[in-house]
Amino acid sequence: MSQMKMTDGPVDWECAHCDTPLSPGKVSLDYMGSRFTVELMRCPTCGFVYIPEDLAMGKMAEVEGILEDK
């Protein structure tokens, strides 16, 4: 999933803290000693990263499983 683009355009979520719409940005994800850089929606002001449900329960879960079997 390294270097993958994970954002499919604008989302309805906004940062509740900064009152700002989210925008795409590069984010590093870590698990079991591996790091992936992906593009995710985040708050441009405070950096809060939004992990959508389908990513968490789909691709991320799959990659977690693969890394756990390494």
Partner 1 sequence: MDQKELRELERKCIQDEPPFCKAACPIHVDARLFVGHMARGKLRDARKILDKTMPFPAILGRICDHPCETQCRLKESGDAIAVGALERACITHTTSSKKIFKLPPKDTKIAIIGSGLSALTVALDLTKKGYPIHLFDGAPKPGGTLCDIPASLLPREAIDDAITQLKEGGASITMDTPITPERFETLCDTFDAVYLGYDGKNEGPLGTVFPMDKRGLTNRENLFAGGKIKGNSPVYLAAQGRWAATSMDRYLQKVSMTAGRETEGPVPSRLYTNMKDVVPAPKKMPASPETGYTSDEAEIEARRCIQCECLECVKVCAYLEKHKGSPKAYVRQIYNNLSIVKGTRTINTLINSCNLCGLCETVCPTGFSMADVCHTTRQHMVQIGKMPPSAHEFALLDMTFSNSDDFFLTRHAPEETKSQWLFFPGCQLGGSSPQHVTDAYAYLRKNLHPQTGLMLACCGAPAHWGGDDARLASVMEKIKGAWTTMGKPGLITACSSCQSIFTQFLPEAETVSIWDIMAEKGLPAGSQGTQSQMMPLAIIDPCTARHEKGVQKSVRSLLTDLGTKVEELEHSGEHTECCGFGGNMSNADPAVADEILKRRISQSPLDYVAYCIVCRDHLASAGKRVHHILDLIWPEHTAPNPGFSMRQENRLRLKSTLRETLWHEKCPEAEAYRRIPLQISEDALKTIEGRRILKEDIQKVLHHVKNGGKGLKNPKNGHRLAFYKPLKVTFWVEYEERDDLFVIHNAYCHRMTVAEGGR
Binding mask 26-55 for partner 1 (x = CB under 8 A): -xxxxxx--xx---------xxxxxx-x--
Q: Which residues contact 39 (CB under 8 A, 6 or more apart)?
A: 4, 5, 6, 7, 24, 25, 26, 27
Which does residue 45 touch among partner 1, Zn ion, none (CB within 5 to 8 A, set by kind)? Zn ion
Regarding 63 and contact with partner 1 (CB under 8 A), the answer is yes
Tokens of 66: 């693969």
Tell me 31's DSSP state: E
* Contacts to Zn ion by CB under 5 A: 15, 17-18, 43, 45-46, 48
